[in-house]
Amino acid sequence: MSGMKDRQDNAKLRERRRHAAKVLRILAREYPDAVCSLNYATPLQLLIATILSAQCTDERVNMVTPALFERFPDAKAFAAAEQKEVEKLIQSTGFYRNKARNIIACCKAIVKQHGGEVPGTLEGLVRLPGVGRKTANVVLGNAFGVPGIVVDTHVLRLSRRLGLTREKAPDKVERDLMQILPPEEWVAFGHRMIYHGRKVCQARKPRCDVCPLAEVCPRIGVKA
């Protein structure tokens, strides 16, 4: 019985990978130049910008960060910052008190534990205050070239709609996607899914009539 179950599980996994490959091809065709939409020049700047992007648009973050990074050019400067000053500079991103607290605590840890340099491993990043797997994977994939799947709200929503996963928790969705997508596609996949989620497969009213993925989409959870 166990051998039969293994064969059935393997067959299901192969089918999921074939479906994922079709999704990848269409996304690559539609969004060949998709990249991270946060502006940054260093791993630290990307880390800070990603923290700020929680419950905020990337456009708004990009409006705030030039002045922030000019005032605090490195981890040491952030670590020594007054919270009120950071709050004032990032206020328009929302939840600014908690974000300012996390940014300062994170940079203190970077200075104390990593000599002022952002760690380039998942383990090192997620140990920093205010940094979860999503933020860590953004930094790893874009600043260090380390493959990782970013499960933000768009990727979570679209992955379920497209039938790539039935899970709801981000960490479980990430695990499912890692099983069916080749590592060399992980970073680009995230960017392209985000682009598609913003432009077409929107949360409240997906534009299924103009969606290039319509032919392969089972529309799980979508009444369309």
Just list the catalytic residues.
134, 152
Diameter of the chain by CA atoms? 65
75, 110 contact by CB (below 8 A):
yes
Quote the tokens at residue 175: 């695990």
In angstroms, how far is the first alpha carbon of the chain from the final one?
40
**Residue carrying the six token digits 């200075």:** 111
d(CA 74, CA 166): 41
Contact 127/188 with Cβ under 8 angstroms? Answer: no
C-alpha distance from residue 8 to each of 4, 34, 67 (Å):
6, 36, 56
User: Left if phi > 0, otherwise alpha if psi is -120 to 50, otherwise beta: which for 74?
Assistant: beta
Query: From CA 97, how far away is CA 143, in angstroms rounded?
Result: 26
Distance CA 174, CA 151 (A): 6
The amino acid occupying position 180 is I
